[in-house]
Chain A
Amino acid sequence: GAVVSQHPSWVICKSGTSVKIECRSLDFQATTMFWYRQFPKQSLMLMATSNEGSKATYEQGVEKDKFLINHASLTLSTLTVTSAHPEDSSFYICSASLQIGTEAFFGQGTRLTVV
């Protein structure tokens, strides 16, 4: 089956620094990837849709300048949390689909802790 790899699995950073999270589709090309955020004991909330070669589409309420998304190739999308603060601490998960409307394959998630 299709594999999506996310790196790192966990990261601790100091407040005010930036953190980059990578999402790779290992055995297929993903023209579209998705970034979700999950608070403890809560559901996944879509943050943005990452489109290869173009700007990401952000959901309402998500700060574009805070969460920078780059989708430079068909197998790699990155999420950069800029000037991180403790309230940005969360579990971030990416996903990618092979085709419209079908199964999305998820990365293993990244636990971000900002201290």
Chain B
Amino acid sequence: AQSVTQLDSQVPVFEEAPVELRCNYSSSVSVYLFWYVQYPNQGLQLLLKYLSGSTLVKGINGFEAEFNKSQTSFHLRKPSVHISDTAEYFCAVSGPYNQGGKLIFGQGTELSVKP
């Protein structure tokens, strides 16, 4: 079975500061990893994904994440955040044998960017 743990439920940060949202996963098989962002009352938008290859993945809106197999982590980072980055962020995992895009989500991290 697979599981995802997002270590911080809330992350407050000032505008233009760097931020890291932490995600750890548990799986007995190789996985695909994703970060999604959700704005209030909206669906999810993909920020980035790791399927294979380079462990450093760059996504949209200046976000990047690094896949660390030994630590089973996939932390999301941004060097300088904006007010508009305020949203809920979800880390998710999909196994290679999962049907289509069946995703297991973490609990979510609420990023709050303050001026």
Contacts and interface: CB of A to CB of B under 8 A. Distances in A.
B107 A32 contact: no
Contact of A49 (B51, B96, B102, B104): B102
B94 interface: yes
A44 B101 contact: no
A100 B98 contact: yes
B32 A42 contact: no
A103 B48 CA distance: 9
A106 B107 contact: no
Q: Give the size range of A's interface with the partner.
A: 20 to 34
Contact of B99 (A91, A100, A109): A100
B41 A100 contact: no
Interface in A85-101: 91, 93, 95-97, 99-101
Contacts of A95: 44, 101, 103
Interface string A29-49: 011111000000011111001
A100 B100 contact: yes
Given A42-B108, A43-B108, A109-B43, A102 B102 contact: no
Contacts of B51: 101-102
Interface in B73-91: 90
Nearest to B110: A41
B105 A93 contact: no
B66 to A, nearest CB: 19
Nearest to A9: B41
A46 to B, nearest CB: 7
Interface in B55-85: none
Interface of B: 32, 34, 36, 41-46, 49, 51, 90, 94-96, 98-108
Interface of A: 4, 6, 30-34, 42-46, 49, 91, 93, 95-97, 99-109, 111
